[in-house]
Every structure is written in structure tokens, then in C-alpha cells.
Chains A and B, each alone.
Chain A
Amino acid sequence: MSQAFIHLENVGVVYPNGHHALEGVTADLSPGTICGLVGVNGAGKSTLFKSIMGFITPTSGKVEITGLPVKQALKKNMVSYVPQTEEVDWNFPVLVEDVVMMGRYGYMNFLRRPSQADKKAVDEALQRVGMQDYRKRQIGELSGGQKKRVFVARALAQGGKIILLDEPFTGVDIKTEDSLIALFRILAEEGRLMLVSTHNLGSVPGFCDTVMMVNKTLLAYGPVETTFTQDNLAAAFGGMLRHHQLMGDELHDDPDARGVTVLTDDERPLVLYGEQGGQKIVRTKETAGEGIGRHD
């Protein structure tokens, strides 16, 4: 068995104001996979991210990255972070190439003067995500998908084996989402661990290998096929999801008992099909607005 990239052992976080954000999270995340981190707002997704990023120190349990304590792993540039679109100040006076160069700061001396190797890494990373023609743009002058690619390029330039992505699909259209997913899949296949927090349920079966479902604690963790079930989703989201069910007698004229369940939080829906209790995920394909108008 390969060594776990992220080892979470009974991780708990209590904030100074007494708020219990997370309790008893235990999981081993392996390289070469995309792991979805799913839960409602306030379920502890960002708290878990921050614990892995060394932003907060868990009040109980421990986090290890490739067998090292978080602080040491960070010093070795093992972890990269792609922030949520809303977190970034897009008016900030930085060019695309400046942002990607920030990925190399960890390799530079205290004055942060880039070497030839640093410049080369930036070129390659920009090439990789197809943003080399935009390197002199100020970051606010980009489209939603391009903005994401710049920060993914920064992660690549950093060379980290673990990439944390915070809600990468908010504010991007479906075509862009698909092309980002294709990029993430390639990056995972090259041996990285991609941990993606998302509330976009429908896209999870399409690109995640494993899924962590959190609500103050880790409700379930495992392969998408067996973990991303209706019961676990109900536990993770409570009454927060729209839930449409079409059972056998509504769907078929014959005694076929299989029914369709559609779960959505107004993003891409999750569709399950089969007999009650044994419904399986249907990998839906979404196309950009063909035939049907927007349904807000």
C-alpha cells in the first residue's frame, strides 16, 4: 500500500470563541486521486482546509502530510492552494505572471529574487494551463475560467504534490467547468492528490474518485460509488437539498420498480436510478443551454 499523502487522525477544531467546528475526523488520502470534500456551508470544509494548510492548529488529533507534520511539509512546498474566486481581490495590481511567480517564492531567498529555474517553471506552468498568451494581463482582465487557470498554474509552478481547490466551479459556465475537470483529471493521474471542496453535487460523480462528506464531523469517506449515497447525502445536507423522486409506477407501465431520484441545490443535479434502497448514481451529461432556457 502506498503511503498516505494526507493522514488525518481524530482531528478536531474548537475556535477560541467556543465554536466546535470539527470533531473526530480520521481519514487517509492517497496520491493519484481526486477527493471531493462535500458539505453545507459551515459544515467544517474550510476548517479542514485550514488545518491542512497550517492556517489553524487542530485543538485535538493530528494532521500529517506524507508522514511529516504540517509545518515541515509546507516548508517543502508540498501543499498548494487554489483560492475561491470570491476570496481574491481581482483589482490587486498583479499581472498573471506575477501570480504564477508567487508559486516559486518558497524556493527563493528572503529577497524573493527569481532565478532562471524559477522563470522556466513559470513559463512551463503557464503553458500547461494554456495561459501563456495572457501573462502580461492584470488578473481582473480575465474571464472566470482563465482566473482559475492562473491559480492552478501557480500551484503547478510550486510543484506541490497536494493541491487544495476551494469551490473551483463557482462563477464558471458548464463548458469551462468541463475543461477544468479534464485538467484536474490529468493532474491527478500524474500522481498528485487533488482535494476539492464543492457544494456542486452533480459534478462529484463525474470527476471525483473518492468523497469526504462532512457535517461537523466526517460522516462518510470512501469511493464515490459506495459513499455518495442518498442516505449519506441526507445526513450531510439535512433538509438543504431539493429532492425529486419519480418511482417505478410513475415512470413505467410495466411492473419495473426502478425509479429516478434527483437531488440538487440549484447547481448541477445528482441523479440516482434503480430500485428503492439500491439506487445507483447516473453520470449525467450536461450541455450548455441547448433547447431549454435558464431555470432559476
Chain B
Amino acid sequence: MMELIHEYLLEPLSYDFMQRALLISLLIGIVCSVFSCFLILKGWSLMGDAVSHAILPGLAAAYVIGLPLLVGAFAAGLFCALSTGYLKNNSRVREDAVMGIVFSAMFALGLVMMTRIESDVHLLHVLFGNVLGISSSDLWQAGSIAAICSAIMLLKRRDLALYCFDPAHAAVIGVPVKVYHFGLLVLLALTVVSALKAAGIILVIAMLIAPGAIGFMVTRSFDRMLMVAVSASVFSCLGGTILSFHLDAATAPLIVVIQAILFLLALVIGKRTSHSRKGEHGSGTAATAG
């Protein structure tokens, strides 16, 4: 038994790159799962999809100008979220269509820029992440963003949950609703940026949706949903990273596969434990991942 633990869990820890990989996957596992609870409850899954795709041209532009890549990524993600809101209010097209156009156009622009520009940023790493290749400066940057975002969301979780549940009541008791709306968009962009190096912009979408969906299906109150989401996410992030070391498989995809399995498990448990709840909420949200 001890040998098994040693071989499977402790041996990976003796490598520096694995220590960094486990730490970053722990941090982004937490930040993504906390945000995913609000994302699921607000019905913003498509927004997560959009913002993460839209980051690509920001990365390329930042490289050209010589800015830190994360700054460019953050600006592009936020631009996508805000321009979607603006276009929705000032055109006859519905929000989902506007969002679809904005983010796919930005993603396409990013692809064009990436293929034209000679850079040391690998497209495949940007798309699908490279947990095992995290440098200590990556870890420091992304990790601190993830930690700060997690702390803000956990401290303000009651107000954020209220904003998702009943913005009218929030307004009536004097909560600055517009600030919260904008704040959630900023947090979304920051969360995606923090997970960029490790999970990549395609797979982060799954990490932003699955934990919240899992928590939503098996719980009846918000704090429990948060606990289940974070546990499921941390379990799959650490488990996926260690497993990928032994299997010599891509890490982020493995994490997402584990989350999908947990999601199926939650689906079965959720069906058995609550008969009165109708599943209309959770079903439409996972479909956008990809």
C-alpha cells in the first residue's frame, strides 16, 4: 500500500515541474469552479465560451506590441463581453446571435494573426494548455490572479448569488447592480486569463461549466453547491495532473474527461435524490462546451 502511494503520488512530487503543475492546477481548479457556480446560475455558459475564444487576438496583439500576454488577453476578453452587451442593446439581433458573431470573428482574427506572426507562443498550447510546461513566472502570475479572484468571489458570494437570483431585490436594497454585472464580466475575463497557460482557451470552457453544473444537480442550497463544485474541480484537476504524468497523456484534456465523468455521476445521483426538481436548468448549459 505504502509503495503504491509512494509510486503514484509522491514520486511525481519529486519533480519541480510536477510541483508547479499541481499547484497551478489546484489554483485554477478553485477559481474556475467558484466562477462556474455563478456562470451556471446566471445562465452565462455561452458568455464563458465567448470570452475565452475572444482572448486569442489579444494574445497576438500583445506579443506584437510587446505587452505582457496576459494584459492583452484580458483586454480582448473584456472587449468581447462589453461589445456584446452594447450590440445587443443597440440592434435588433438577439444576444446569443450577437455573441456568436463577436467571439467567432475575434477567434478567427486571432487565428489569422497567430499564423502570420512569428512568435514563441505555440497555437496548440494556447488552445489546449500545457500544464506540465508551466514556468515559475507563469505560475506566479496566473496563480496570483486565480487566488485573488477566488478570494473576491468567495468573500462576496452572497451578494453575487443574490445578483444572479434576484437582481431586482438586489437593486431595491441598494446593491449597485451594474457594478456587479460589470464585476462578474471582469472576473470572468481574469479567470480565463489565469487558466490560459494551463488549460488553454478551449478546454477552460469545460472547466468553467462542469463543476457548477455538477454542484447544481446534487445540492439544494448555494453554499453546498459551491462546496461540491470546488471539491469536484480540485479532485479532477489534481487527479488529472497526476494521472497524465503516469499515462504520459495530455493533462488538461484528461482533467476535462474526469470532470465529464463526474458530471455523468452527478446526473445519476441528482435524478435519484430529487424528484420534484425539473432538470431544465442544467441541461442546456453543458452543450455549449466545445
In the assembled complex, the CB of B181 is this many whole angstroms from the nearest CB of chain A, namely: 12
Residue A184, interface by CB 8 Å: no
Number of A-B contacts (CB under 8 A): 86
A138 and B171 contact, CB distance less than 8 A: no
Interface residues of A in 103-156 (CB under 8 A from B): 103, 105-106, 110-112, 138, 140-141, 154
Residue B281, interface by CB 8 Å: yes
A83 to B221, CA, bound (A): 20
In the assembled complex, the CB of A280 is this many whole angstroms from the nearest CB of chain B, namely: 37
B281 and A89 contact, CB distance less than 8 A: yes
Most chain A CB inside 10 Å of its own CB: which residue of B219, B220, B221, B278: B220
A94 and B169 contact, CB distance less than 8 A: no
Question: Given A83-B169, A102-B169, A111-B155, do A93 and B219 touch, yes or no (CB 8 Å)?
Answer: yes
A95 and B221 contact, CB distance less than 8 A: yes
A83 and B168 contact, CB distance less than 8 A: yes
A98 to B162, CA, bound (A): 10
Contact partners of A71 in chain B: CB under 8 A: 174
B159 and A93 contact, CB distance less than 8 A: no
Contact partners of B41 in chain A: CB under 8 A: 89, 92-93
Which residue in chain B gives the minimum CB-CB distance to A87?
A: B168
Contact partners of B175 in chain A: CB under 8 A: 105
Residues 161-202 of chain B, each 1 if its beta carbon lies under 8 Å from chain A, else 0: 110111011011111010000000000000000000000000
Contact partners of A89 in chain B: CB under 8 A: 41, 165, 281
Contact partners of A80 in chain B: CB under 8 A: 172
A74 and B174 contact, CB distance less than 8 A: yes
Contact partners of A141 in chain B: CB under 8 A: 276-277
A94 and B221 contact, CB distance less than 8 A: yes
Residue B225, interface by CB 8 Å: yes
In the assembled complex, the CB of B222 is this many whole angstroms from the nearest CB of chain A, namely: 5
Contact partners of A79 in chain B: CB under 8 A: 172
Residue B280, interface by CB 8 Å: yes
Which residue in chain B gives the minimum CB-CB distance to A56?
A: B171
User: Contact residues of B with A, CB < 8 Å?
Assistant: 41, 89-90, 155-156, 158-159, 161-162, 164-166, 168-169, 171-175, 177, 215-216, 219-222, 224-225, 276-278, 280-281
